Chain A
Amino acid sequence: AQSVAQPEDQVNVAEGNPLTVKCTYSVSGNPYLFWYVQYPNRGLQFLLKYITGDNLVKGSYGFEAEFNKSQTSFHLKKPSALVSDSALYFCAVRGVSPTSGTYKYIFGTGTRLKVLA
């Protein structure tokens, strides 16, 4: 079955420091991976995706993510965190449903990022 795991419920980082939000996945076939951010009382905003090619993917707001096939990971990174980056971050995989054969987005449980001033 397709799945995504975000092992950390919360990540705290000081402003200006690099940040990493972890994500591991399990899929059959090629992985299509996504990161989204959710601010309080808002919907999810797309940050970036990995389809194929370069293992380092650059996205919105200075975020990037590193795809590692051997470790089945897709960690979100940013070189220098801002207080305004504080939000809930979701990793997702586009996986095929074993019952219907169709594709849907499967989300992790989310990681709350707190950037401290």
Chain B
Amino acid sequence: NAGVMQNPRHLVRRRGQEARLRCSPMKGHSHVYWYRQLPEEGLKFMVYLQKENIIDESGMPKERFSAEFPKEGPSILRIQQVVRGDSAAYFCASSPDGRMNTEAFFGQGTRLTVV
């Protein structure tokens, strides 16, 4: 039973390019969460999605960032026109449902470096 799969593990982009980060949740999980972790900092919530729905995007920057979780395929976090400040580790987590008492399972993360 594969865990949460994120790819790529490492991504290098030049300033102004687009970054696309993919997350395949655990089998049977329909809830996905994206977090950003800066060096020596904690996890900052970005967005919470269910299949074909954005549940909570209160942590997403208003510009350049978008996320989707289509009916088929992985969840995508898209960053347009990347800047150096976007360099961070981006983690995806999934849970089987939205109940309060279920734990989320995390992927290994995508480390984005903007040069």
B43 touches A43 (CB 8 A): no
**Chain A residues within 8 Å of B33, by CB:** 104-105
Nearest B residue (CB) for A96:
B100
Q: In the assembly, what is the distance between CA of A43 and CA of B94, in Å?
A: 12
How far is the CB of A75 from the nearest CB of chain B, in Å?
18
How far is the CB of B59 from the nearest CB of chain A, in Å?
8
Q: Take A42-B108, A43-B91, A102-B56 as given contacts and tell me if A107 and B42 are in contact as well, using a CB distance cutoff of 8 Å.
A: yes
Judged by a CB distance under 8 angstroms, whether B25 is at the interface is: no
Among residues 32 to 79 in chain B, which have CB atoms less than 8 Å away from a CB atom of chain A? 33, 35, 41-43, 45, 48, 55-56, 58
Nearest B residue (CB) for A97:
B56
Among residues 93 to 108 in chain A, which have CB atoms less than 8 Å away from a CB atom of chain B? 94, 97, 99-100, 102-108
**Chain A residues within 8 Å of B103, by CB:** 34, 46, 49
Binding site for A on B (CB under 8 A): 4, 6, 33, 35, 41-43, 45, 48, 55-56, 58, 91, 93, 98-101, 103-109, 111
Q: Which 5 A/B pairs are nearest by Cβ-Cβ distance?
A: A109-B42, A43-B106, A44-B106, A107-B43, A51-B101
